[in-house]
A and B are shown apart, each in its own frame.
Chain A
């Protein structure tokens, strides 16, 4: 396990003005060969983390290690880390081939080796016919592919990407996401990827680190983050969640019984992490796609426990998303509940209609024991 770690952040803090911490006591291990995404809103510290790893910022405190060597005092050009920028940062006065040859020239490699590697790097990103073009003659997607192959051609052990697809339109972004995944698989290079787009994080990563106010709220596989968010921040930042505050009624056995604030009783599987006791305030989360809806209580499935795990409300809005409908349901006390249901199921509902919503016990997740209120907004940059 130890040998698997390529980069180690130890107790790293960064402040730009000597006061506010952009990154706070960061401990982070990046595994060899993994695709790690740093996800968070702007100003949450993810880009600062990346820039400290690249060497463009130095930590105010703590240390950074790459393959067992301390690098936080090393200038960027001696770290051997590839970086891909959002605005491509291709050298405008050089051709595509010259751009890609640049890191090899810096390393004083022999000419024939440079020629061969440049050709290989261009083939990797399917731009072999564009070697003699200028960056200005390429589309945005092509420019970013050149930047990608330039960051890979000198075979760095790790490549950093700072919102590399942020400037591209959606279709192109999806194509390049697949391409970056493929390159990651083929070259087995470690990639640290910064984005504020949760979909991008979920589809591309081996692991996601969710940032908030300079700290990592949760780190884990996309599946883990999505299905077992650690707190309400992660639950709402990664995907949508209905948050339900309440009080623990009974924590005996494997099932927790919760009295939600509107009086509804609900059950949830006991969380593995925290011990819950009666009377404790909690926040529970429910993914919109796990909520089912029907027109009247008579239609509840036979096995549904009586008087439990259900809410009633009025359809306030119906939004067509393509593969499903997203339904906003007002609960009568000012709160809104989100339900996502298949097109067939949603065809029975109309705006203004009263409906009953219900869910399986396993889908209600108990989050942090003390609700953090509404301080979810990240500080602006």
Chain B
């Protein structure tokens, strides 16, 4: 009797969880079947199956250029954010003080400040410097937005790092620079790569700041989507969205695998 009531509660709880997940996922997932529809106007369910819109984007000069722009800008922004974020994370983990907490707070600021404000600020600064509209300005701006994610994953990875490894390397004759590159970086590499993935994802999706800085010919995919839906809603959008969704899911899986490796690594450092 009691058992049955428990079962009912567990069922209700699971149903609620399922509903919440559905609520979160449905808007994302509904795009996918739409992208395989041949219809010119959105109608659900699609009348039949077609790869028409995928063919259309892969033959469109505009979308291909946007894809190349996005890949180039995000790749550069990711490398920049990862290098700076890793150095910052390593330094912050080494010197713990009130000043380092302040620096950490400043580094995380781009994540907390409304993105429009950052966009306006960067726009005025870049205009003053005369670099607005260049690839460099977009890359720097997107690196800035990705930086906090690298700092967070790297500092989190370094929490489990055994600093005796560095002391050991120094005592064995490694210069501080050599100890950094040959010991610290390889050991925290999973965390660095996970941070890089996040930075890439953030940069790849970035639109607000990019809209401020973009100039003709340098449109990224999100910018192109945005201008696409502003003028007229074209079903090509659904195909692009589905592709982006796929990329995001793959990156999340990769990041998960990397962070699992990191946990394995830190648990075996002390393990006898």
Spell out A's residues near B (CB within 8 Å).
Answer: 54-56, 75-77, 79-83, 85, 87, 89-93, 102-103, 106-107, 135-136, 139-140, 143, 147, 150-151, 154, 167-168
Contact = CB atoms under 8 A, between A and B. Distances in A.
Contacts of A139: 272
Given A77-B172, A85-B168, 15 more contacts: A75-B176, A77-B173, A77-B176, A80-B173, A82-B172, A83-B167, A85-B167, A87-B164, A87-B270, A89-B165, A89-B167, A89-B168, A91-B165, A103-B173, A140-B272
A77 B174 contact: yes
A89 B164 contact: yes
Interface-centre pick from B162, B168, B268, B269 (highest chain A CB count, 10 A): B168
B268 A136 contact: yes
B178 interface: yes
Interface in B121-179: 162, 164-165, 167-176, 178-179
Contacts of B183: 91
Interface string B228-272: 000000000000000000000000000000000000010011111
Contacts of A147: 168
B264 to A, nearest CB: 9
B165 A54 contact: no
Contacts of A87: 162, 164, 269-270
Contact of A91 (B173, B187, B270): B187
A151 B162 contact: no
14 contacts: A54-B167, A54-B171, A77-B170, A82-B171, A82-B172, A83-B171, A87-B162, A87-B269, A89-B165, A89-B168, A92-B265, A93-B186, A102-B174, A135-B268
Contacts of B268: 92, 135-136
Interface of B: 162, 164-165, 167-176, 178-179, 182-183, 186-187, 265, 268-272
Interface-centre pick from B162, B175, B179, B187 (highest chain A CB count, 10 A): B162
Contacts, number: 78
B169 A102 contact: yes
A304 B118 CA distance: 94
B272 A77 contact: no
Contacts of A107: 173
A106 B171 contact: no
A56 B162 contact: no
Contacts of B172: 77, 82, 102-103, 106, 150-151, 154
A42 to B, nearest CB: 17
Contacts of A106: 172-174, 178
A92 B173 contact: no
Nearest to A94: B186
B162 A89 contact: yes
Nearest to B189: A93
Contact of B168 (A80, A83, A136): A83
A136 B271 contact: yes
Interface-centre pick from A81, A136, A147 (highest chain B CB count, 10 A): A136
B269 to A, nearest CB: 5
B167 A77 contact: no
A260 B115 CA distance: 82
B121 to A, nearest CB: 41
Contacts of A77: 170-176, 179
What 6 pairs across the A-B complex have the smallest Cβ distances? A140-B272, A136-B268, A103-B172, A106-B173, A89-B168, A89-B164
Contacts of A103: 172-173
Nearest to A85: B164
Contacts of B164: 85, 87, 89
B272 A76 contact: no
Contacts of B174: 77, 102, 106
Contacts of B165: 89, 91
Contacts of B187: 91-93
Contact of B269 (A54, A92, A151): A92
A91 B179 CA distance: 11
A154 B173 contact: yes
Interface-centre pick from B171, B176, B178, B179 (highest chain A CB count, 10 A): B171
B200 to A, nearest CB: 24
A143 B179 CA distance: 20
B139 to A, nearest CB: 31
A76 B170 CA distance: 6
A193 to B, nearest CB: 15
Interface-centre pick from B169, B186, B265 (highest chain A CB count, 10 A): B169
A12 to B, nearest CB: 19
B108 to A, nearest CB: 29
Contacts of B173: 77, 80, 103, 106-107, 154
Contact of B167 (A76, A93, A140, A143): A76
A93 B272 CA distance: 16
Contacts of A82: 171-172
A235 B113 CA distance: 65
A85 B63 CA distance: 58
Nearest to B188: A93
A146 to B, nearest CB: 11
A285 B170 CA distance: 45
B87 to A, nearest CB: 20
Contacts of A79: 171
Contact of A143 (B171, B265, B272): B272
A56 B167 contact: yes
B100 to A, nearest CB: 18
A251 B270 CA distance: 58
Given A55-B170, A56-B167, A89-B165, A167 B272 contact: yes
Interface-centre pick from A54, A76, A151, A154 (highest chain B CB count, 10 A): A76
A72 B165 CA distance: 22
Contacts of B270: 87
A89 B268 CA distance: 11
